[in-house]
Chain A
Amino acid sequence: MKETYAKGWLKDALGIFNLELGRLLRDGGVMIIFVVAGFLYPILYNFVYRNGVLENTPVAVVDNADCSDSRRMIREIDASRELATAYRCTDMEEAKDLMQKRKVNGIIYFPADFGEKVARQETAVFSIYADMSSFLYYKNVLMGSEFVMLHEINNIKVQRLRLDGLTDQQAGATVGAVLYEDNNPWNRAFSYSIFLISAILMLIIQQVMFYGMSMSVGTMREENRSFASLPDTLKGRGVGRVVLGRGAVYWLIFMTIGIYVGVIVPAMFGFPQRGSFWEIIILLAIFVTVCVFFCMTWSTLVTRRESAFILFLFMSPVCIFLTGCSWPTTAFPAFWKWFSYLFPSTFGCQAFINLNTAGADLEIVAPQLRALCLQGIVYFLLACGAVYVENFVIKRKDRIEEVRKGVEERIERRIGAGEIQI
């Protein structure tokens, strides 16, 4: 029976699939990366960022005014979610000392004329000093004291307007001419973990795959084999089945890890899961596919088993920044914006944040999915190109080797025949 092209293709691809799978399963180092990093990292990060909200940041209070207004404000500051008045100091020196000793992360200072100024209907100014060693301290000190200040301002104003003869309702309407309603629907308390974990989860998939695959490619290179050997019968054709056959192994492994990372881990830690399950699976399927071709392309640069760690480990934190989850993409310098397009994680993380945590649907993340697909096509072609080039070089190497051997043999023969004297 004559073999059709499709049948032959499938047979070859399956053979390569089996070969690669066997190779991976026998390679303890790679399996450790996949299992330990792929399964443990999401859990570790969730643990570290478990309490994403910093509460009751300790502050020292220096109350030189000692009036009813300042005392009320101090009480309100203490009652706020953000701050706790841990120390009452008699002067700034004492408070400064406490801050240096890191007993407090902020100082709130009421000058002696605070109460008088309020009474004289001037602007009374109090000062806050925030420890900038972590921006979360600053955020708490600023937000805590500003909320109290806004509340106090309203109270004072209403009081004064009433003294001017306005009714309660009139006074309220004047002070609050515009009411506002703020909503932060997907991260209500500005939790650090909800924002960071959303981005990290997808990045873990990409990075783990990259280190694992690089390790496997490096091993083969060290053992003088190639990841890209084509079936001998095909005479240099059939690049596609090598890429797809090998890719399928990684795709299957990482769809498993992906579902664990993207669906099960969030559920384990009570992380928001607002997207539909199937839409997340679709995103994962696309993202993992692109990651496979991405890793295949870049891992060709790796020549030794360990090089990936030495040369590319520093990329993981860089990739987090390139997703735009902290520094906004609109403020990226042009070069880094283009640079970020190299990584599937840039779009994958954004799509996951929107889909899973903001509860968007596929239509909303369509731009990211389109970008991922485009990346996938480009990296697929590059991966094929890499296999082709690799084969080309291997063939050349063989021919060079043949020529060299031929020359050596001839010389030896001539030595044997006594034509050359040593």
Chain B
Amino acid sequence: MTFFEKIRSVVRREIRIWVRRPVYIVGSVFVMAFCTLFYLSFLRDGVPSDVPIAVVDLDRTATSREFCRQLDATQLGKVVMYDDFAEARFDMQGGRVTSVCVIPEGFNRDIQAQRQPTFSFYINGLYFLSGSLAWKDILTMVNLTNGAVQREVLRMKGVPESLIMGQLQPVDVDVHQIGNPTMNYGAYLANMMIPGMLQMVVVILMIYSLGTELKYGTSRHLLNAVDGDIYAAVSGKMALYTVLFTLIGWTLEVILYKWMHFPLAGRLGQMLLACFLLVVASEAVAVFIIGLVPVCRFALSIGALYSVLGLSMTGFTLPVEAMPTGLRGLTMMYPLRYYYDIYVQAGIFGSGFGQWYICVVALLLFCFLPFLVMKRLKHAYEYLDYERN
């Protein structure tokens, strides 16, 4: 039997297993479909709007009411009026409003008399996104209020209207968000969460596929089918799963960049390549884990621990350089980390292969991992001398 024929027989055998046990297809296609649906629909607005901001208006004048109306009119905020601070604080502590603004008594009077009233606001920074956006929103409104007062003063002084803007805003900033110009939170998260889930599913399912052979004692049957060639057995399985997961992954990439039109500076083909490599490298990690610990259940537990942590270790939320020094090295154990680097280079900056070939090399290096454990895996497959359950 040639190597190719052996692989074909493994593939045929694996497909028969898929037909008999739907868990493989449910665990890959259904799980990825659910995740994609979740991340794309849950964050579809991109930026949250109408987040409740409490206002305690102790002044009750036209000025303070105008402030509330303006704050309510911003995209982010929805003003909820409270009679006293204690009540508003109660709701902020319970997470029902993101922030509390207190307009002090005599606010209007003090502004007119140039007595500089102090406007206080409180943010619940534990609800991160809404908290930081509310902070920015309220701060902008305070500065605009200041600007309105100054404009009145300048007008009274007889400064011509054409010069007023320069007086009010001597310096301005022009913000460019490279790679996500609309500041779409959904695009930012989905771009990495979805491949992250793919990595998780690949690792778990690949471990399971190799591990069940041990668990149900069918590994010898598998070895018989390939004349005892463990390389053919593992390659056969990897080949089939690579096709399955690459197809799933490519579908997802097309959904992200062609259907959802998430910003992508480079070409789609580059992301497809990255996705393919992510799949292969994750499979290699899975083979390594099951080879190292040839007990289905232990390997799965390790795989689960490994891949759940992978989402944090990639550094797309908290960047790697902010992690403790000892952990930074560990982030290199995750294929997703290199996928992220390729995404940053190709997707955000649109740089060519020359800038990120090193990530491709790193992902390919993962493919050497299985060779380290092949002997051990073959031994386990032949003698089944490990605990089954």
Which A residues lie at the B interface, using CB under 8 A?
Answer: 29, 32-33, 36-37, 41, 44-45, 47-54, 69, 99-102, 118, 120-139, 142, 145-146, 149-150, 152-153, 156-157, 160, 164, 170, 172-188, 190-196, 198, 211, 215, 219, 304-307, 309-311, 313-314, 316-318, 321, 324-328, 330-333, 335-336, 350, 353-354, 357-360, 364-365, 367-368
User: B2 to chain A: which residues have CB within 8 Å?
Assistant: none
- Measured CB to CB, the nearest residue on chain A to B96 is A367
Q: Provide the bound-state CA to CA distance between A318 and B312, in Å.
A: 14
User: A146 to chain B: which residues have CB within 8 Å?
Assistant: 173
Q: Provide the bound-state CA to CA distance between A326 and B169, in Å.
A: 33
Which chain B residues in 166-206 approach chain A with CB under 8 Å?
A: 166-167, 169-180, 183, 185, 188, 193, 196-197, 200-201, 204-205
Interchain nearest-CB distance for A95 vs B (Å): 11
User: B129 to chain A: which residues have CB within 8 Å?
Assistant: 326-328
A139 lies within 8 A of B172 (CB): no
**7 sample A-B contacts, Cβ–Cβ < 8 Å, listed by A number:** A29-B298, A69-B171, A309-B304, A313-B204, A326-B129, A333-B42, A354-B93
Cβ-defined partner of A178 (8 Å) among B142, B167, B169, B343: B142
Quick one: which of B35, B93, B303 has the most chain A CB within 10 A?
Answer: B93
User: A317 to chain B: which residues have CB within 8 Å?
Assistant: 193, 196-197, 308, 311
Known: A131-B179, A132-B183. 8 other contacts (CB 8 A): A99-B178, A136-B317, A183-B122, A198-B126, A328-B51, A330-B130, A333-B42, A353-B126
User: A179 to chain B: which residues have CB within 8 Å?
Assistant: 116-119
Q: Provide the bound-state CA to CA distance between A20 and B248, in Å.
A: 41
Q: Provide the bound-state CA to CA distance between A47 and B329, in Å.
A: 13
- Measured CB to CB, the nearest residue on chain A to B341 is A102
- Interface mask (B154-170 → A, CB under 8 Å = 1, otherwise 0): 00010000010111011
B201 lies within 8 A of A314 (CB): yes
User: A364 to chain B: which residues have CB within 8 Å?
Assistant: 90, 93-94
Interchain nearest-CB distance for B222 vs A (Å): 18
User: B272 to chain A: which residues have CB within 8 Å?
Assistant: none
A51 lies within 8 A of B322 (CB): yes
B106 adjacent to chain A (CB < 8 Å): no
Cβ-defined partner of B127 (8 Å) among A29, A306, A324: A324
Interchain nearest-CB distance for A301 vs B (Å): 12
A306 lies within 8 A of B297 (CB): yes
B132 adjacent to chain A (CB < 8 Å): yes
- Measured CB to CB, the nearest residue on chain A to B98 is A328
Quick one: which of B132, B171, B193 has the most chain A CB within 10 A?
Answer: B171
- Interface mask (B318-329 → A, CB under 8 Å = 1, otherwise 0): 110111100100
Cβ-defined partner of A132 (8 Å) among B38, B48, B121, B179: B179
Q: Provide the bound-state CA to CA distance between A56 and B129, in Å.
A: 21
Interchain nearest-CB distance for B217 vs A (Å): 13
Q: Provide the bound-state CA to CA distance between A37 and B119, in Å.
A: 47
A121 lies within 8 A of B324 (CB): no
B27 lies within 8 A of A124 (CB): no
Task: Decide yes or no: A118 and B125 within 8 Å by CB, A48-B323, A333-B42, A364-B93 being known contacts.
Answer: no
B269 adjacent to chain A (CB < 8 Å): no
Q: Provide the bound-state CA to CA distance between A128 and B183, in Å.
A: 14
User: A99 to chain B: which residues have CB within 8 Å?
Assistant: 178, 349
B119 lies within 8 A of A354 (CB): no
Q: Provide the bound-state CA to CA distance between A313 and B322, in Å.
A: 27
Interface residues on B, range: 35 or more
A139 lies within 8 A of B132 (CB): yes
User: A185 to chain B: which residues have CB within 8 Å?
Assistant: 122
B90 lies within 8 A of A187 (CB): no
Interchain nearest-CB distance for A86 vs B (Å): 12
B45 adjacent to chain A (CB < 8 Å): yes
B351 adjacent to chain A (CB < 8 Å): yes
Interchain nearest-CB distance for B177 vs A (Å): 5
User: A311 to chain B: which residues have CB within 8 Å?
Assistant: 23, 26-27, 31
User: B31 to chain A: which residues have CB within 8 Å?
Assistant: 310-311, 314
B309 lies within 8 A of A48 (CB): yes
Q: Provide the bound-state CA to CA distance between A130 and B98, in Å.
A: 26
A153 lies within 8 A of B319 (CB): no
Q: Provide the bound-state CA to CA distance between A47 and B344, in Å.
A: 25
A145 lies within 8 A of B167 (CB): no
B254 adjacent to chain A (CB < 8 Å): no
Cβ-defined partner of A192 (8 Å) among B93, B128, B316: B128
User: A327 to chain B: which residues have CB within 8 Å?
Assistant: 42-43, 48, 129, 185
Interchain nearest-CB distance for A263 vs B (Å): 18
- Measured CB to CB, the nearest residue on chain A to B48 is A331
User: A331 to chain B: which residues have CB within 8 Å?
Assistant: 45, 48-51, 130
A100 lies within 8 A of B345 (CB): yes
User: A188 to chain B: which residues have CB within 8 Å?
Assistant: 125
User: A182 to chain B: which residues have CB within 8 Å?
Assistant: 120-121, 123, 135, 138-139
Cβ-defined partner of B124 (8 Å) among A135, A186, A332: A186
Which chain B residues in 203-237 approach chain A with CB under 8 Å?
A: 204-205, 208, 211-212
B291 adjacent to chain A (CB < 8 Å): no
User: A306 to chain B: which residues have CB within 8 Å?
Assistant: 208, 211-212, 296-297, 300
B255 adjacent to chain A (CB < 8 Å): no
A125 lies within 8 A of B174 (CB): yes
Cβ-defined partner of A325 (8 Å) among B128, B183, B185: B128
- Interface mask (B281-321 → A, CB under 8 Å = 1, otherwise 0): 00000000000000011101101110111011101111101
User: B122 to chain A: which residues have CB within 8 Å?
Assistant: 183-185
User: A172 to chain B: which residues have CB within 8 Å?
Assistant: 116
Which chain B residues in 347-370 approach chain A with CB under 8 Å?
A: 348-349, 351, 355
B34 adjacent to chain A (CB < 8 Å): yes
